[in-house]
Amino acid sequence: MPARLSHVAALALYFILNALPCLAAYVPLRQYEGSTFFDGWAYYGNVDNTTWGNVTYLDRADATSKRLTYVNDAGNAIVQVDNTTTLVRNADVVNRDSIRLTSLDSYGMGSLIVMDALHIPYGCSVWPAFWTYGIEKEWPEAGEIDIIEAINDMERNQVALHTIPGCSKADTLPQSGRTLETDCSTNRGCIVAESKPNSFGPGFSEAGGGVYALLLEPTSINVWFFSRADIPSNIASASRTSSLDIESWGTPTAAYPPTRCNLTQYFPPQNLILLTTLCGVWAGNPSIYRASSCPVRR
């Protein structure tokens, strides 16, 4: 089992205050950080019955007692997978303890979500994700936005939207990433691959982590990634009271315009999800697992 399974994160959210032709200013609405980080989340408390990974997501009491979620002395929230327990081999079901968090609050159009992470789990069998979905309807009727999602030994992150039929990605807005899929209603979703280095895997951690940002607007859903050395100054110096102007952030990694998808229709208010599963329908798919240069042990 991989050793690099801890997940260190500080998360802040903003909503739109003012929008002018040359200015979009966002002011703080809510922060998930420090000693109160976990107060704004619900723990799943069940097996992975959505992507069928080999994990059991703990409730808050068990997660706390087993030290799979806590805030360290530096004030960073730690969200991790058990990597110390020896599991019984050849059992019918072998699940490792892990965490899945769902935000208690939802965020609609006009929201800017900023996540600062120092480390993201990686390695063979590992499938971490930070994403959103509308919980008021059965998935994917209220949409899903994958902000961070990669598996195994991938070195770069992928962004994706998932919807019911009728929503596709158009490349009519500039983006720095590469579009891999355009139909958002397929199982894979409409995907943009990150082109910048250090967005996932050992490179991300060795660079000191970085920042991901999601903008939800009727005119575009955008996702940015900034490695630690490239974080815009207004994010690096942001406080509980400071506003953010995104004009200085440059071209996003992924841009989803409304020209082939009514974004407001397909993406009602979204809840945030933070999790790590192991194997499952993507990371554990035999052909994908082997293609990731992951050894098959018996």
CA 56, 144, 240 angle in degrees (round to 5)? 90
DSSP character for 196?
S
Cα dihedral: 129, 133, 138, 140 (round 10): -80
Residue 130 tokens read as 């930070």
Residue 115 tokens read as 């996540």
Nearest to 110 by CA among 31, 214, 32, 195: 214
Residue 19 tokens read as 């929008």
Q: What is the rounded distance in angstroms from the CA atom of residue 16 to the CA atom of residue 189?
A: 27
Active site residues: 144, 149
| Residue whose entry in the numeric block shows the structure tokens 């992150």 | 157
Q: Which amino acid makes up residue 107?
A: Y
Q: What is the maximal distance between C-alpha atoms in the chain?
A: 62
φ/ψ bin of 166: left (φ > 0), alpha (ψ from -120 to 50), beta (otherwise): left
User: Is 252 in contact with 175 (CB distance < 8 Å)?
Assistant: yes
